[in-house]
Amino acid sequence: MPSLSRIISATLDQINQAPTEKFLQILGGVFENSPWIAEGAYGKKPFRDVEELHAAMCEVVKRSTEEQQLTLIRAHPDLVGRAAVNGTLSGASRSEQASAGLDRLTAKEVEKFQQYNAEYHQKFAFPFVICARLNKKDAILQGFESRLKNSREEEIRTALEEIYKIAYLRLQDVCAK
């Protein structure tokens, strides 16, 4: 399996012409540690634009089983979690968390994130997922507070919607102009 930890830029033409292994090398990391999604979209080539590619990849997720969807959600790291503290986040996740200011928290803020992560895992049995690039730390903390009130079904839907946003932004990073 090709490395999925770094973003490889490619034009849409290169993506459309790529054989399976290269396609997975380019797009396998768009959905966190879930190359099966890129693999599922491979047969939909050629894509007219990034939006069509994104839609095809999201459709793979929507047509997958609930267990596959939960596996996808669980592939995401906790915000300010163990992977962040240990420095083992994927390059994309590290950059995304940094863009929200999560790499510059006080000890008290880190403790608050970890408290919310624990409460969230306790209630839903998967990590809290939010598109960090579209939020800052205060909005993320408010997101924890409001989303902890959701039902499990609502939260699965919400987490998947956030994952689609993350993937779209990652696709824009991948697809060179």
- Looking up residue 105, the CATH number of its domain turns out to be 1.10.3330.10
User: Does residue 71 fall inside a structural domain?
Assistant: no
| Inside any domain, residue 118 | yes
- Tokens found for residue 166: 């993350």
What's the pLDDT score for residue 6? 54
Encoded tokens for 83: 């992977």
Structure tokens belonging to residue 78: 């906790």
Q: In this predicted structure, what is the pLDDT of residue 79?
A: 84
Q: What is the pTM of this model?
A: 0.90
Q: List the catalytic residues.
A: 76
CA distances from 4 to 35, 128, 133 (A): 8, 22, 20
For residue 98, the tally of other CB atoms under 10 A from its CB is 15
Tens digits of pLDDT across the chain (177 residues): 344 445 678 999 999 999 999 999 999 999 999 999 999 999 999 999 999 999 999 999 999 999 999 999 999 988 877 656 666 667 778 788 888 888 888 989 989 999 999 999 999 999 999 999 999 999 999 999 999 999 999 999 999 999 999 999 999 999 965
Q: In this structure, is residue 133 part of a structural domain?
A: yes
Q: What's the total number of domains in the chain?
A: 1
Q: What was the pLDDT predicted at 89?
A: 65
CB 170 within 8 A of CB 10: no
Residue 83 maps to a domain: yes
Residue 102 lies in a domain: yes
Element (H, E) at 140: helix 137-147
pLDDT on residue 2:
40
Residue 120 in any domain: the answer is yes
111 part of a folded domain:
yes
Q: Decide if 148 is inside a domain.
A: yes
User: What range defines the domain where residue 136 resides?
Assistant: 78-162
CA nearest neighbour of 113 among 90, 92, 146, 137: 137
